[in-house]
């Protein structure tokens, strides 16, 4: 019904119908619109029937599909050069949909031990309930990875660069191993989004992202993405639909906007991170720096071979331990003391007193989270300002008596 016709109806009906009946079909919005709607209207009964029968393309209900979220999926497929892609409510929704979509009870997973804590908890506490057991291995030790694989193993899982010590997985070697043993190689590419790395081009089978991080880039959305072949997307899309782990159109739109500047942001973040890693390695308050771009990083050669640049995340340890690391959090002024990563702002965190507080000192040490460790997600601010901020915070921390 056109707006003109509403004049014949009562005010209450005008109020309800007016915005819904507006006709934008002749307008081409330069920026993609946000299809902030639950359902979609049909031209007539014939069209409705054809769409419900699957004979005609069209949208029914936004949990099953929405033009804004579908556009983001197409953009992700373009960036990761995949046949198809799927977007999800968060990075964890992407992780859980991949595992639930690709495994069946009795299957097993071999995973890098150096992965995001939420993913590890999902594998240990939830996927196991579905009858799928996970073995955690040092992903840089290919013999250990191979020995953990048995006849039940279906997925080999790794992050390209893993927390907290920025362990770099050799994706080419893992592709060879996974395919020789007839496994899916699933790669979390959150830390090294395109243009830094495209795991599918190297032969990985499935790539996933927490879009909350670099893809969004501004700390204002939660989202996830999966890119792979069409036939493997389908079972994952079923999981997303049935568990309701769908991305909202508004968050998809924010991610679409974020991706426009992804390359520029990441380039600046990598440059800043590389320079700060060198600066930190010479600072008297710091005992150790972890950054794949440093020659002394254990997988520096793999990182050089594999990545366009070394990423925007680094970690370092304070000579004076726990109290000194905490003092850095209290002293930074340009960087924000907060969790998450991949945002345009520099984010600093002391895992032992925050995200990993629930673990014992021994448990933390076993996964590389020492009391003195600080993780730094480098932003796009001016390098000199970041360096000065870190310098004053480190000097302040170095004044404490341990």
Ligand X SMILES: Cc1ncc(COP(=O)(O)O)c(C=O)c1O
What is the C-alpha separation between 302 and 171, in angstroms, rounded? 9
Q: Among residues 72, 92, 167, 185, which is the contact residue for ligand X, using CB under 6 A?
A: 92
Q: Among residues 164, 216, 224, 351, which is the contact residue for ligand X, using CB under 6 A?
A: 224
What is the C-alpha separation between 346 and 334, in angstroms, rounded? 8
CA trace torsion 284, 287, 289, 295 (10° rounding): 90
Nearer to ligand X, 167 or 286 (CB): 167
What is the C-alpha separation between 157 and 98, in angstroms, rounded? 11
Does residue 190 interact with ligand X by CB under 6 A? yes
* Stretch binding ligand X (CB under 6 A), from 2-10, 85-93, 315-323, 383-391: 85-93
All residues at 6 or more sequence positions from 302 whose CB lies less than 8 Å from its CB, including other chains: 168, 169, 170
Q: Among residues 62, 68, 91, 96, which is the contact residue for ligand X, using CB under 6 A?
A: 91
What is the DSSP track for 65-81? Answer: --HHHHHHHHHHHHHHT
CA distances, 340 to each of 105, 211, 220 (Å)? 33, 12, 11
What is the C-alpha separation between 50 and 232, in angstroms, rounded? 26
What is the C-alpha separation between 253 and 216, in angstroms, rounded? 10
Nearer to ligand X, 223 or 324 (CB): 223
What is the C-alpha separation between 362 and 21, in angstroms, rounded? 63
Does residue 343 interact with ligand X by CB under 6 A? no
Rounded least distance, CB 46 to ligand X, Å: 42
Residue number with the smallest Cβ distance to ligand X: 91
Does residue 116 interact with ligand X by CB under 6 A? yes
Q: Among residues 212, 272, 299, 306, which is the contact residue for ligand X, using CB under 6 A?
A: 212
What is the C-alpha separation between 335 and 224, in angstroms, rounded? 26
Rounded least distance, CB 395 to ligand X, Å: 30
Does residue 203 interact with ligand X by CB under 6 A? no
The 3-state DSSP class for residue 53 equals helix
Does residue 188 interact with ligand X by CB under 6 A? yes
Sheet of strand 313-318, all strands in order from the earlier edge strand to the far edge: 286-290, 313-318, 373-377, 347-349, 336-337
# chain residues binding ligand X, by CB under 6 A: 14
Does residue 170 interact with ligand X by CB under 6 A? no
Q: Among residues 159, 317, 343, 389, which is the contact residue for ligand X, using CB under 6 A?
A: 159
* Stretch binding ligand X (CB under 6 A), from 44-52, 89-97, 99-107, 311-319: 89-97
Does residue 118 interact with ligand X by CB under 6 A? yes
Site residues for ligand X per CB under 6 A: 90-92, 95, 116, 118-119, 159, 188, 190, 210, 212, 222, 224
């Amino acid at each position: 019904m056109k707006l003109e016709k509403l004049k014949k109806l009562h005010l209450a009906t005008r109020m309800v119908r007016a915005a819904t009946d507006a006709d934008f079909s002749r307008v081409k919005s330069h920026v993609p619109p946000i299809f902030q709607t639950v359902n979609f209207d049909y031209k007539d009964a014939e069209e409705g029937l054809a769409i419900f029968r699957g004979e005609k393309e069209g949208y029914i209900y936004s949990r099953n599909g929405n033009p804004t979220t579908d556009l983001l999926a197409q953009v992700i497929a373009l960036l990761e050069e995949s046949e198809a892609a799927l977007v999800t409510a968060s990075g964890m929704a992407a992780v859980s949909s991949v595992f639930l979509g690709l495994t069946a009870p009795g299957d097993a997973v071999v995973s890098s031990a150096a992965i995001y804590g939420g993913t590890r908890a999902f594998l240990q506490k939830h996927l196991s309930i579905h009858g799928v057991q996970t073995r955690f291995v040092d992903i840089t030790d290919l013999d250990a990875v191979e020995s953990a694989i048995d006849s039940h193993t279906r997925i080999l899982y790794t992050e390209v660069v893993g927390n907290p010590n920025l362990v770099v997985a050799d994706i080419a070697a893992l592709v060879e191993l996974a395919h020789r043993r007839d496994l899916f190689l699933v790669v979390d590419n959150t830390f090294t989004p395109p243009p830094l790395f495209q795991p599918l081009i190297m032969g990985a089978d499935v790539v996933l992202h927490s879009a909350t991080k670099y893809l969004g880039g501004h700390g204002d959305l939660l989202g996830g993405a999966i890119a792979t072949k069409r036939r493997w997307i389908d079972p994952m899309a079923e999981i997303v639909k049935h568990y309701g782990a769908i991305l909202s159109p508004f968050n998809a739109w924010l991610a679409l906007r974020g991706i426009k500047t992804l390359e520029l942001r990441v380039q600046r973040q990598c440059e800043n991170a590389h320079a700060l890693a060198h600066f930190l390695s010479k600072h008297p308050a710091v005992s150790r720096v972890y950054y794949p771009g440093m020659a002394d990083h254990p997988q520096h050669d793999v990182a050089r071979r594999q990545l366009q640049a070394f990423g925007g995340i680094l970690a370092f340890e304070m000579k004076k331990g726990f109290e000194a690391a905490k003092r850095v959090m209290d002293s930074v002024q340009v960087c924000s003391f907060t969790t998450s990563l991949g945002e345009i702002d520099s984010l600093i965190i002391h895992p032992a007193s925050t995200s990993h507080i629930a673990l014992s000192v021994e448990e933390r040490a076993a996964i590389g989270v020492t009391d003195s460790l600080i993780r730094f997600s480098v932003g796009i601010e001016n390098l000199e300002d970041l360096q000065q901020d870190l310098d004053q915070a480190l000097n302040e921390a170095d004044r404490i008596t341990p």
